[in-house]
Amino acid sequence: MLDVSQVIAQPAHAPAPGSDGSISRHDYRPPAWLVPDTRLVFDLDPAATRIVATLSVTRNGMAGEPLRLDGAGQEPVAVRVDGAAVNDWRIEGEQLVIPLDGDAHVVETEVVVAPERNTQLMGLYASGGILCTQCEAEGFRRITYFPDRPDVLSRYAVRLIADKARYPVLLANGDPVDAGDLDGGRHWAEWNDPFPKPSYLFALVAGDLAVNRGSFTTQSGRTVDLGIWVRSDDIDKTHHALHALKLSMAWDERVYGREYDLDVFNIVAVDDFNFGAMENKGLNIFNSRYILADPDTATDYDYDAIAAVVAHEYFHNWSGNRITCRDWFQLSLKEGFTVYRDQGFSADQGSAAVKRIEDVRGLRAAQFPEDAGPLAHPVRPDSYIEISNFYTATIYNKGAELIRMMATILGPQAFRAATDLYFTRFDGTAATCEDFVACMEEASGRNLSQFRLWYSQAGTPRVAASLSHEAGDGRATLRLAQHVPGTPGQPDKQPMVLPLRIKLFGGETGKPLIDEQLVLLDQASGTIVFEGVTERPVLSINRGFSAPVIIESDRSAAELGFLSAHDDDPFARYEAMQQLMLDTLVAATIEGTPNHAAVVTAVRNTLADSTLDPAFVAEAVLLPSESFIGDQLALVDPEAIFRAREALRRELGVRLADQWREAYEQAPAGPYVYSPAAKGHRRLRNVALGYISASGANDAATIAFRQFEAADNMTDRQGALTTLASSHADEREAALDIFYNRYAGNGLVIDKWFQTQALSSRDDTGQLVAELARHPDFTLANPNRARSLVGAFGANQRAFNAADGSGYRLLADQLIALDKLNPQTAAKLLPPLGRWRRFDAGRSALMRAELERIAATPGLSRDVLEQASKSLG
């Protein structure tokens, strides 16, 4: 149950929140006042920062409406209107309400905040010795009084004043204007951002920072000064990020025609950050894990993620900043589109097929479970209690799939015309998802009425597909039926538009029987007839994962094995292999009598196919995760799933022992390089090492330890450590100790040390994690560290779901403790407990008990309260 007294009171005339404190999309009203210009003066100090805000305000609504400014935590020291002190203001809830007679005024407020005591990491806070800000979604109100909503766009001029020795670098949005020294060892800097922006894009940074500078010349010939700002010790780890930034700038010009618009673009890395990074105009602020890299400390995965996040935040300059969101229900307008854009960028840097495989794996790991659980919500939600809880895989990743489907339906030319139209028409405004779809329609002449259901209906559609063949008349018939499962608040669904790429292959010759077709299934069911099919056809469907759906087909193990070897689309080959593995593992889990033969043959064939890219082979031969197997079952038995999966891993390890050794040895020697080819070899080598270890070979730990010691890069070192961390060999302790000592003091690498152990498949992982939570290096104050242990443990299906409930208790204890410091990050640890409906009565009762204990905690944040009460259902 939700305790209404914990929800911040709202003034009577603002849209009334629901009885549970929720905000509704349909209650949107335009702002009563606009703020064309904002001047901010910060007198920075970690203990007491004084902020004077001067807002020029103009009436946008009815006469008599007072000005309402959002605040949180602070109190006004002074309020002035048109230069004169006033005292007829009042505080309603957390809003500062100022009666104003005319239609245009200058309103000045003065407040004092304490960044060093800000553990939420929202608003102005301290990270290490750096002062920085995070304003999305509603952090600006923790800095100063303001209409803190994304449809109030203002031009900002900012003056920063600080101690020069402690904070030699002073950065804010836009372009630098001027700087100078003051008495008492203090100095100042002025920044001006000519582009009107919502308050959530405001940023400042003050600190002792070193810079890696670069420059980029735009397509129209303007020079942009680039800077990556970090602690001076880390400066050698910024080259990859700077390079990725230049590639991103060029890519957005080439692919979307988008040019950068200021004279400077700065990125700052900080260690304490709730999310990955933030797209503040001209001054991106990053979690240092998405900036810092060198071969000794960052894996290939980290390098890829850094480039993807740098691109993502840079792309927001157009999809997010130049065009922002009217309200937070439209969040996917900027996030879904920007993820789609960064996926396209990453696909162009290496293997597009492997990138698609990774993205689909991520979608299935994070978004499908969300869509199937108590926190399911549409890509454009209808209500929320705490907006921070809606930065989800559904908004981001399913949102990106919606854009991808529209791109597929429109084709590349019409899609580009539509994005051009969108960028031109809505530049400088706060737009809606509807505006975006309307541009897709207008530029293409297509009707997307029914497609819009993708924005409003939650849940992953299921598609039953069955192909029959009438050999005599050369006709094949494909029967399709879709079903969208009920989700909280949405019991009944309408059929959606599903773009399905389909092809048929000859079961005897392996040859394509038809050209690939794009089928738009927009009814509950449909039939497609293919003529001239002279050979027994095998169905390849949802190629490239053209629709984010679950396909339920009646294809046999033989047919899936055939496709895994003969489909001409690498993604489809991967999918066939995954489906074959999944069918095998689900059957083994339920029946306990494994039939491994088809998987062994398919994996053997894939390993033997020398035409394949090693990066692809590495992905294709990986078994589906324990959680993904669990997602296929009505009742998750984590032990049975683990046993079934380990048995198949061992079987593959034993039966293909020579092939794994060969794949392992094959990797070319020589020093580390970061290239698609070298990455692929390292990946395959580490996957092979995993299978050598799974086979139970006597020398497995020796090989892993040798790799660990010989490695000249983190990918190989962590790959070996991951294998050893799940073993009982003596080398395990040795490697963990060496790793820890070698990297003591390097927070990002010590995170890996915690995470690797939390993901271990050993029986005693729960105890180990409990011990690690008492390790001197463990702290909840740093979100990366909290996630590396507690977040990773929640993702370890078997360890977390220990039958005695110890895993649930551990997670709940940590979550409750973290909520007192950082509600946003605490709330993100909760979803694994919300899966209780999928487990046996014993586990389910234990999970519910922990959710109830969390919900009953006095002083609980709105963030966690919303997630806990929704999860209890």
Nearer of residues 344 and 570 to ligand TRP, judged by Cβ: 344
393 near ligand TRP, judged by CB under 6 A: no
User: By three-state DSSP, how is residue 505 classified?
Assistant: strand
Q: In the complex with Zn ion, which residue's Cβ is closer, 136 or 569? A: 136
**CB-wise, 146 or 396, nearer to ligand TRP?**
396
Cβ of residue 312: shortest distance to ligand TRP, in angstroms?
6
Enter the DSSP assignment of 608. Answer: H
Q: Which does 569 bind (CB under 5 to 8 A by kind): Zn ion, ligand TRP, none?
A: none
Measured from the CB atom, the residue of 335 and 358 that comes closer to Zn ion is 335
Bridge-partner residues for 178, per DSSP?
Answer: 190
- Residue 867's binding partner among ligand TRP, Zn ion, none (Cβ under 5 to 8 angstroms by kind) is none
Smallest distance from the beta carbon of 335 to Zn ion, in angstroms?
5
Q: Which is nearer to ligand TRP, 338 or 579 (CB)?
A: 338
Task: Quote the Cα angle for 287-293-296, to 5°.
Answer: 135
Residue 317 partner contact from Zn ion, ligand TRP, none using kind-dependent CB cut-offs of 5 to 8 Å: none
* Segment interacting with Zn ion (CB under 5 A) among 238-246, 327-335, 586-594, 664-672: 327-335
Pick what 137 binds: Zn ion, ligand TRP, none; C-beta below 5 to 8 Å, kind-dependent.
ligand TRP
Contacts 24+ apart (CB under 8 A), 590-593: 590/633, 592/640, 592/644
Residue 760's binding partner among ligand TRP, Zn ion, none (Cβ under 5 to 8 angstroms by kind) is none
**Dihedral Cα 178, 183, 185, 188, nearest 10 deg:** -20
The one among 143, 171, 245, 277 contacting ligand TRP by CB under 6 A: 277
| Least Cβ distance, residue 184 to Zn ion (angstroms) | 40
Residue 292 or 688 with smaller CB distance to ligand TRP: 292
Rounded Cα–Cα distance for residues 123 and 202 (Å):
10
**Would you say the C-alpha torsion 631, 633, 639, 640 has a positive or negative sign?**
negative
Q: Which of 831, 29, 873, 55 is nearest to 366 (CA)?
A: 831
DSSP conformation class of 236: G
| Inter-CA distances, 475 with 466, 480, 519, 674, Å | 14, 16, 17, 50
Give 129's DSSP letter. Answer: T
Residue 524 DSSP code: S
Catalytic residue chosen out of the listed positions 138, 279, 313, 575: 313
Using CB under 6 A, pick the residue from 2, 40, 100, 137 that binds ligand TRP.
137
Evaluate whether 843 touches 864 at the Cβ level (below 8 Å): no
Least CB distance from residue 275 to Zn ion, whole Å? 9
Q: Could you tell me the smallest distance in angstroms from the CB atom of residue 23 to Zn ion?
A: 21
If binding is defined by CB under 6 A, does position 391 make contact with ligand TRP? yes
- Closest-by-Cβ residue to ligand TRP is 275
The verdict on 202 binding ligand TRP (CB under 6 A) reads no
Least separation in angstroms between residue 514's CB and ligand TRP is 41
* Token couple for 534: 């002279």
According to DSSP, the residues that pair with 440 across neighbouring strands are none
Of 826, 821, 825, 822, the closest CA to residue 854 belongs to 826
Kindly report the number of other CB atoms within 10 A of residue 285's CB atom.
Answer: 27
Binding ligand TRP (rule: CB under 6 A), the pick from 317, 346, 388, 546 is 388
Percent of the chain that is helix, strand, coil (3-state, to 5): 45, 20, 35
CA distance 138 to 274: 13
Residue keyed to tokens 């302790």: 733
Binding at 134: pick from Zn ion, ligand TRP, none (beta carbon under 5-8 Å per type):
ligand TRP
Q: x/- binding map, residues 644-683, to ligand TRP, per CB under 6 A?
A: ----------------------------------------
Give whichever of 756 and 824 is closer to ligand TRP, judged by the CB atom. Answer: 824
- Three-state secondary structure call for residue 286: strand
Which of 132-140, 403-411, 511-519, 534-542 is the region at the interface with ligand TRP (rule: CB under 6 A)? Answer: 132-140
| Largest separation between any pair of C-alpha atoms in the chain | 95
Radius of gyration of the chain (CA): 28
Selected range binding ligand TRP among 174-182, 218-226, 271-279, 344-352, rule: CB under 6 A: 271-279
What CA–CA distance (Å, rounded) separates 579 from 737? Answer: 39
Q: Which 337-376 residues touch Zn ion, going by CB under 5 A? A: 338
Nearer to Zn ion, 141 or 316 (CB): 316
Using CB distances below 5 to 8 A depending on partner kind, what does residue 388 bind out of ligand TRP, Zn ion, none?
A: ligand TRP
Interaction between residue 173 and ligand TRP (CB under 6 A): no
* Residue indicated by tokens 């097929």: 353
In the complex, the smallest distance separating the C-beta of residue 332 from ligand TRP, rounded to whole angstroms, is 11
Between 330 and 659, CB nearer to ligand TRP: 330
Least distance to ligand TRP, CB of residue 70, Å: 16
- Each as own residue / partner, the long-range contacts of residues 486-490 (CB below 8 Å, 24 or more positions apart, any chain) are 486/459, 487/371, 487/376, 487/377, 487/458, 487/459, 488/374, 488/376, 488/458, 488/870, 488/873, 489/382, 490/378, 490/457, 490/458, 490/459
651 is catalytic: no
Q: Stretches 269-277, 441-449, 463-471, 746-754: which one binds ligand TRP (CB under 6 A)?
A: 269-277
Distance CA 262, CA 6 (A): 43
Asked whether position 279 contacts ligand TRP by CB under 6 A, the answer is yes
- Using CA atoms, how far apart are residues 269 and 165, in angstroms rounded to an integer? 20
Tell me the closest approach of the beta carbon of residue 204 to ligand TRP, in angstroms: 15
Site size toward ligand TRP, by CB under 6 A: 13
Residue located via tokens 């990491």: 121
Judged by CB under 6 A, does residue 335 bind ligand TRP?
A: yes
Least CB distance to ligand TRP at residue 781 (A): 17
Three-state DSSP state, 515: coil
CB 371 within 8 A of CB 835: no
Stretch of 84-92, 298-306, 333-341, 666-674 contacting Zn ion, by CB under 5 A: 333-341
- Does 278 participate in binding ligand TRP (rule CB under 6 A)? yes
Which of 778, 776, 758, 773 lies closest to 832, judged by CA?
758
Question: What SS3 state is found at 49?
Answer: strand
Name the token pair of 525.
């069911």
Interface with ligand TRP includes 271 (CB under 6 A)? no
Scan residues 288-327 and list those touching ligand TRP (CB under 6 A).
Answer: 312-313
Question: Quick one: which of 167, 202, 251, 275 contacts ligand TRP (CB under 6 A)?
Answer: 275
Question: Residues with catalytic annotation?
Answer: 313
Residues that bind ligand TRP (CB under 6 A): 134, 136-137, 274-275, 277-279, 312-313, 335, 388, 391
Residues that bind Zn ion (CB under 5 A): 335, 338
